[in-house]
Amino acid sequence: KPPAPRPHRELSADYYSKKCPQLETLVGSVTSQRFKEVPISAPATIRLFFHDCFVEGCDGSILIETKKGSKKLAEREAYENKELREEGFDSIIKAKALVESHCPSLVSCSDILAIAARDFIHLAGGPYYQVKKGRWDGKRSTAKNVPPNIPRSNSTVDQLIKLFASKGLTVEELVVLSGSHTIGFAHCKNFLGRLYDYKGTKRPDPSLDQRLLKELRMSCPFSGGSSGVVLPLDATTPFVFDNGYFTGLGTNMGLLGSDQALFLDPRTKPIALEMARDKQKFLKAFGDAMDKMGSIGVKRGKRHGEIRTDCRVFL
Ligand code: HEM
Ligand SMILES: [Ca+2]
Ligand SMILES: [Ca+2]
C-alpha cells in the first residue's frame, strides 16, 4: 500500500508540542494581562481574527503593514479594515514578541492570532475550545482583495449567506458567529442610515426599538456628530460573552442592520431564536464555529507560506 499523502491543509492541536510546548502558556500570559489592563483588546482581537480568515484565509495577512512610500496598500489600509482597533494588533505584537523570545522563528503569526482570539473569548465569559494549529503566514496582503470578502453593516441576509457559503460556512454558522457581536462597539456611521433615512424612506428603520432609537439619535446626530463615538453592539452586556446579543435581537435592539436582519429572515430567525433561548447551546456552537472559521484557506509549507518573525512585515 502506498504511503498516505501527507495532509497539507490539516491543523492539529499538538502541532507545537515538540517545537514549542509552552506556546499557549506564553500567549495566555499576554492575553490575560491585556484583558485586565485593556479589556477592549478582547473584541478588537476577535474581530481581527475574523477579518484575517475571510481575506486570503487565516494566514496573518491582516497584520502586514504597508511599506513606507509604497503605493501597494496592505489589507489593513482597506476601508473595511479602518476601524479595526489598534488594541487588537498590539495584543498580537506583544504575544509574538514573548513567543519569539522563547521559540524563535517557530510559531506563525496566524497561529498566535487564533490562540489569542480564543483566549479573549474565554476571558470575556465565552467558551474555551482547543485551537488547532499549523497555519503558515501568507505572502500576500492587498487592500484590493478586502471589499468582496468582508460583509457590511447593511448587507442583506442573502448576501451574508452567500459570502459565508463561499468560505465553507453554513447558515447556522453565520448566525452563531454573528453572536460575536455580544461584545464590542460600532461607530455611528455603521448604523446612521437606520436612525434617519432607512433605505431612502427618510424614516427610521421600523425594526428598531423606539426607546433605543431615541438614545442612539442623541449619541449620533444626523450630521456634525463626532466620528469617534461608538455604541455597544449588545446594549445589555457589551463586555460579557453571553447570548445577550440574541435576546436583544428578539426585542428589536440589534444595532446593525445586518444583525437585526438575521431576526427577520425565515432562514436565520429560528437559529437566532434558539441561541436566545439556550445560552449553553450558543456557547458550544460558537466554539465549534470558530474552530471551522479558523481553518479557512489555511496554508502549509514554504511554497505558499512563511513563519514571520515580525508579524507586520514579510520575511
Ligand atoms: C455577519 C456579518 C458581519 C458584519 C456585517 C459585521 C460588521 C461589523 C461592524 C460594522 C462592526 C462595527 C465596527 C466599528 O464601527 O468599529 C463590527 C464589530 C465587531 N465584529 Fe462584526 N460583523 C460581522 C460578523 C462578525 C464575525 C463573524 C465576527 C467574529 C467571529 C465579528 C466580530 C466583531 C467584533 C468582536 C466586533 C466589535 C469590535 C470592537 O469593539 O472593536 N463580526 N462588525
Ligand atoms: Ca488572511
Ligand atoms: Ca453580551
Ranges of beta strands (E only) in 147-268 are: 185-187, 230-232
ipTM topping 0.95: yes
Instruction: State the DSSP H helix or E strand holding residue 137, giving kind and residue range, or none if neither.
Output: strand 137-138
Q: If you search the block for the grid coordinates 478582547, which residue do you land on?
A: 42
Amino acid, res. 45: T
Q: How big is the chain by its Cα radius of gyration, in Å? A: 20
- φ and ψ at 236, to 5 degrees? -85, -50
The CATH number assigned to the domain holding 99 equals 1.10.520.10
Give the pocket of ligand 1 (CB within 6 Å): 43-44, 46-47, 50, 83, 85, 151-153, 155, 160, 177-178, 180-181, 183-187, 190, 256, 258
For residue 189, report the distance from its CA to the centre of ligand 3, in Å: 22
Q: How many CA atoms lie within 13 A of 166 on its CB side?
A: 14
* Cα 77 to middle of ligand 3, angstroms: 29
Rounded distance between C-alpha atoms, residue 129 and residue 285, angstroms: 11
Q: Is the domain of 269 the same as that of 299?
A: no
Helices assigned H by DSSP within 11-85 = 23-37, 41-53
Dihedrals phi, psi of 191, to nearest 5 degrees: -140, 10
- In this structure, is residue 313 part of a structural domain? no
- Check if the beta carbon of residue 293 is closer than 8 Å to that of residue 174: no
What are phi and psi for residue 118, nearest 5 degrees? Answer: -60, -45
Number of independent structural domains in the chain: 2
> Do residues 138 and 182 both lie within one domain?
no
Among this protein's residues, is 187 annotated catalytic? no
- Nearest CA, atom 33, ligand 1: 47
Asked if residue 7 belongs to a domain, the reply is no
User: Does a structural domain hold residue 231?
Assistant: yes
Q: Within a domain: residue 103?
A: yes
The parent domain of residue 161 ranges over: 157-292
In-domain check, residue 166: yes
From 8, 51, 102, 304, active-site residue: 51
Instruction: Indicate whether 144 and 233 sit together in one domain.
Output: no
- Ligand 1, residue 190: give the atom nearest the CA: 10
- In terms of C-beta density within 10 A (0-12 exposed, 13-18 middle, 19 or more buried), how is residue 155 classed? middle
User: Ligand 1: which of 41, 180, 246, 293 to mutate, judged by most atoms within 8 Å of the beta carbon?
Assistant: 180
**Are residues 246 and 168 located together in one domain of the fold?**
yes
* Residue from 38, 50, 54, 169 to probe ligand 1 pocket by mutation (most atoms less than 8 Å from CB): 50
**For residue 314, with 0-12 CB atoms within 10 Å meaning exposed, 13-18 middle and 19 or more buried, which class applies?**
middle
Cell numbers for 26: 506564553
Asked if residue 2 is part of any domain, the answer here is: no
Cα–Cα distance, 207 to 230 (Å, whole number): 21
Residue by residue, pLDDT tens for the chain (315 residues) are: 666 555 456 899 999 999 999 999 999 999 999 999 999 999 999 999 999 999 999 999 999 999 999 999 999 999 999 999 999 999 999 999 999 999 999 999 999 999 999 999 999 999 999 999 999 999 999 999 999 999 999 999 999 999 999 999 999 999 999 999 999 999 999 999 999 999 999 999 999 999 999 999 999 999 988 999 999 999 999 999 999 999 999 999 999 999 999 999 999 999 999 999 999 999 999 999 999 999 999 999 999 999 999 999 999
The answer to whether 252 and 260 are in contact (CB under 8 A) is: yes
